[in-house]
Amino acid sequence: MLKKLFLVVFCVLISSKTLQADNYVIANYKTRFIEEKGGNPFQRQSPCSTFKIPLAIIGFQENYLLDNNAPVCDYKEGYTNWIPIWEQSFTPFTWMQKSCVWYSQEIIAKPYGQERLQQFVENFKYGNMDASGTNENYDYSFSWLNSSLQISPREQINFLFKLLDRGYGATENIYQKVENIIPQEDLINGWVLHGKTGTSYFWNEDGSWDKRKQMGWYIGWIEKYRQKYVFAYAINEMDTDPNLSAGLTAKQRIKEKLEAFILKWNL
């Protein structure tokens, strides 16, 4: 009896950890119906580099970004260079594809300014709407990287609904430019996948990165003819793997769910 009770408790604990670590939503864009969900879709965490989509809206609205290929900006000493491939020139398209942090900061966030960025997230009702930044070693231009700004999968879905609705006061030309730089690829049965990853380490007490654990995201939508399904998948915590990022892991997991969903309903 005690052995059985132990197994039940153990399974509950494992299930709880899984639910805490993987939270997701798949929703029908047209009807707003939640087709699938898992874990706690209302649990907030840092948006990480999924915040590049809102930053792209700012960038094109303010003419910091012009099109896929302009401006071309060179890496300079002192820019954020956590990944060696960031030490090169970037365009708006390659910025989004390679998820370069310094381009987000130096070309968009810093020229835009903290006060306006705060107003922007409030106007968009983006997550907890706090772009202040909380780590004493990093300013507001890191606020979306495991700092003050937090958002849940359900709130990410709402953001994407409004983006696809053209509901953020931008012109159609700007929305098209934003969509043009978001990575996309073919999925099964003629569906096209549009999405952005996000990954961040946790902080140590001294303000350095704790590289033993990561959090990750993959958000976006799939499209076929006039049908669209919007999704957001969050990994709250994952052991660091030198060959994987939490963002790419989130992408792989939701792709499997999306493909199973397509096959299940013969879409």
**Residues carrying an active site annotation:** 49
The CB density around residue 253, as the number of other CB atoms within 10 Å, is 17
Instruction: For residue 162, report the phi and psi dihedrals to the nearest 5 degrees.
Output: -70, -35
Distance from C-alpha of 235 to C-alpha of 211, rounded to nearest angstrom: 15
How far is C-alpha 208 from the geometric centre of its chain's CA atoms?
22
Residue 21 in tokens: 């670590």
Place of tokens 């989509």: 53
Residues 13 and 29: beta-carbon distance below 8 Å:
no
DSSP category for residue 79? S
Residues 56 and 181: beta-carbon distance below 8 Å:
yes
Place of tokens 């609205």: 61
